[in-house]
Amino acid sequence: MKKQLPMFLVFLCGMIMIVQFVVPHEYSQTLFQHSQDFVIVIGVLALPIGIYSLMKSTVTKARREPKERLYSLITIIGFAVMIIAGLKRDWFTSSTSLSSNLFNYILVPAQATLFSMLAFYIASAAYRAFRARTALAAVLLITAFVVMLRLIPMPEPLSTWNAEFVRWILEVPNMAAKRAILIGVGLGAVTYSIKLLLGIERAYMGGD
């Protein structure tokens, strides 16, 4: 019963969603909208569990590992300050409130800093990936070189030739590979969904 009931619910909800997919009527769309709202409700209800988990792991870490104590303390203080700063609705929505200032001038720059590191990570990953150790890696290296050349000013007619060749690379072999992956992903997703509906795939519930 512990497994049968969730599996029945998965089957029922899945079948409703399949029917909903081919019925564009307002009733069907309203049902879909409500199901989406229900997902949000579940997410909101689960949030306290997440917060409890975060605080528990942070406090445990602070207790057990002295080296982690500072980071844990920052997490706890940040958590408490953000809660207090957002206690009133207008504190949270006003663009000049403490909550907005903390968000805009601490969190957003911190996130942007982390995101900007991507540029350096791309360079180091590309350096490793573009070592021509095999024939295929050599093809990758040459192709990448040609594609990057498009961004460099070159004299005519080299520039036009290169632009045309790069366009062909992107629109023909590159697009073919992307579409092949997308077709595989689409079919794989449908197969996986049918397996979930029929109860064949149960690993997400903890297996058999």
* Residue ranges that bind other proteins, judged by CB under 8 A: 18, 21-29, 33, 39, 42-43, 46-51, 53-54, 56-57, 60, 67-68, 71, 107, 110-111, 114-115, 117-118, 121-122, 124-126, 128-129, 178, 181-185, 187-196, 200-201, 203-208
Closest distance between other proteins and the C-beta of residue 157, in Å? 30
Sign of CA dihedral 129, 134, 137, 138: positive
Q: Which is nearer to other proteins, 44 or 155 (CB)?
A: 44
Q: Which is nearer to other proteins, 12 or 125 (CB)?
A: 125
Please, what is the angle between helix 173-197 and helix 4-22, to 10°? 130
Q: Which is nearer to other proteins, 2 or 89 (CB)?
A: 2
CB 91 within 8 A of CB 97: yes
Closest distance between other proteins and the C-beta of residue 112, in Å? 8
Q: Which is nearer to other proteins, 158 or 189 (CB)?
A: 189
Closest distance between other proteins and the C-beta of residue 161, in Å? 26
Closest distance between other proteins and the C-beta of residue 148, in Å? 14
Q: Which is nearer to other proteins, 151 or 156 (CB)?
A: 151
Please, what is the angle between helix 135-149 and helix 108-129, to 10°? 130
Give the C-alpha separation, 107 to 91, whole Å: 17
Q: Which is nearer to other proteins, 146 or 154 (CB)?
A: 146
Is the bond preceding residue 173 a cis peptide, omega within 30 degrees? no
Helices marked H in the chain: 4-22, 26-64, 69-85, 89-93, 98-102, 108-129, 135-149, 158-171, 173-197
Closest distance between other proteins and the C-beta of residue 125, in Å? 4
Give the C-alpha separation, 103 to 202, whole Å: 40
